[in-house]
Amino acid sequence: MFETLSKAPQDKIFALMAEIAADDRPGKIDLGIGVYKDDEGNTPIMTAVRKAEERIVSSSKTKSYIGVAGNKGFAKAMVDLALDGAVPDDRVRAAQAPGGTGALWVLLTLLKRANPDATVWISDPSWPNHKPMAEQAGFKVEAYPYFDPDTRKVRFDQMLAKLDSLGRNDIVLLHGCCHNPTGANLNHDQWHKVIASLKRTGAFPLVDMAYQGFGDGLDEDAYGLRALAAEIDEFVCATSCSKNFGIYRERVGCAIVVGEDAAQADIANSQMLNLIRGAYSQPPDHGAEIVRVILEDAELRAEWKAELEAMRNRMISNRQALADAIRSRSNSTDFDFVAEHRGMFSLLGLKVETVDHLKAENAVYMLDDSRINVAGLADERIQRLADAIVGATR
Ligand code: PLP
Ligand code: TYF
């Protein structure tokens, strides 16, 4: 039967990860996959996570089934973390999902049931998995203008003009914060303009919140989502705990659905649970239980927040150090934008040839669109990267 198939494309981010692993040059610099790393290049388990796991192992009494929506305490805590009361509880439903990707899959599948003829609009550019995921759900996918490669800022007027032209058959996928791959984000005023546009046109928002706490702080990163929630009656949001709890392989995310009223929220929720049951029955519990334990315990929660804050501040100082190091070598402000961007990534705007050159000559790895993971940097690596970039772009 498989003779009917041809080889499917690989995810370019995972392909690069394999390429880096196969390079044995000492001192290679890995700025590829979006995984947080410390100065030594490790992705450690957060202390609060370790403590929560120990508590779970010593006190849990059963591994019986938990239910289609997963861990209820987790889902409630995730709704609070994202929305902080911006929508009355009776209009919000949430299901634990296997990662932010799982949450996106649940929500896209739900939206397909609700409006099979809709078009999904993603930013140009966007996370490489957004388009294939929306296509796999059966949607037509289009892109709205987002990143201006000259200014390395959001091309806001063009973005808004495109959004203004959409209507009730359109779903707009917005990055909640820390835009992947560009690092360029909407400011408050721009969020309000986007929200007003969505309200006017009736286009449906799908917010992807994969990096809450990695940009300007847990609450600040949710500014746009909460502002949207205050204005728009119906929307969905996929959140992920992979990055902000560092539990990537545990696969923890949450699919959040907001309805116009409690009755519609109930109907949407019943469809969501129905489609989950038909796919994987219920999500795995362990990672979600870790998050629940942390978020419900004042002491562990404070410890987690402090650790997350330290990770966030380190990424910001890496950004500043890289911008400074390039400026001091090139005598130009061309890369100052790196310090203005937020989150784990910046799109440097280098040519593919330059990216290839850095890989071949300097063992510096970034995605072929020149996205770098700023968490992959550290003092000595920052200086070497600045040398390499200035050398290659002179
Ligand atoms: N959305 C965006 C924009 C991402 O960068 C990621 C990356 O990890 C995800 C969703 C999904 O994350 P995960 O499925 O690992 O929770
Ligand atoms: O963009 C990244 O690097 C992260 C990790 O299919 C990732 O979001 C990459 C690809 C993918 C899932 C996660």
Closest CA to 229 of 211, 205, 251: 205
Determine if ligand 2 sits within 6 Å of the CB of residue 20.
Answer: no
Q: SS in 3 state form for 164-207? A: HCCCCCEEEEEECCCCCCCCCCCCHHHHHHHHHHHHHHCCEEEE
pLDDT at position 341, please? 98
Nearest CA to ligand 1 atom 12: 100
pLDDT of residue 51: 98
**Which residue has 């692993």 as its token pair?**
21
pLDDT at 114: 98
Q: Which ligand is nearest to the CA of 122?
A: 1
In CATH, the architecture of 66-296 is 3-Layer(aba) Sandwich (3.40)
pTM of the model: 0.97
Residue whose CA is at the smallest distance from ligand 2 atom 9: 13
Task: State the complex-level ipTM.
Answer: 0.98
Return the ligand number nearest the Cα of 180: 1
* Residue 153 annotated to the active site: no
Kindly state the tokens that stand for 183. 């690092």
Q: Which amino acid is at 143?
A: A
Cis peptide before 149 (omega within 30 of 0): no
176 CB within 6 A, ligand 1: no
Averages of pLDDT over each 10 residues, the chain, 394 residues: 94 92 92 93 96 97 96 98 97 98 98 98 97 98 97 97 98 98 98 98 98 98 98 98 98 98 98 98 98 98 98 97 96 95 96 94 94 93 92 86
pLDDT tens readout for residues 23-82? 999 889 999 999 999 998 899 999 999 999 999 999 999 999 999 999 999 999 999 999
Is 199 part of the annotated catalytic residue set? Answer: no
371-373 and 345-347: which strand pairing?
antiparallel
pLDDT of residue 293: 98
Beta-carbon contacts of 71 under 8 Å, excluding residues fewer than 6 positions away, are 96, 283, 285, 288, 289, 292
* pLDDT computed for residue 348 by the predictor: 95
Domain residue ranges in the chain:
6-46+301-393, 66-296
What is the Å distance from ligand 2's center to 238 Cα? 15
Ligand 2 center–CA 17 separation, angstroms:
10
For residue 208, indicate whether it is catalytic. yes
**Is the minimum distance from the CB of 250 to ligand 1 under 6 angstroms?**
no
Residue 304 a catalytic site member: no
CATH class of 6-46+301-393: alpha beta
Please count the residues of the chain: 394
Instruction: Give the per-residue pLDDT at 159.
Output: 98
Q: Which pLDDT score, from 0 to 100, does residue 145 have?
A: 98
CB distance 208 to ligand 1 below 6 Å: yes
Q: What is the pLDDT of residue 92?
A: 98
What strands lie across the sheet with 253-258, from one edge to the other? Answer: 92-97, 253-258, 235-240, 204-209, 170-175, 119-124, 140-145
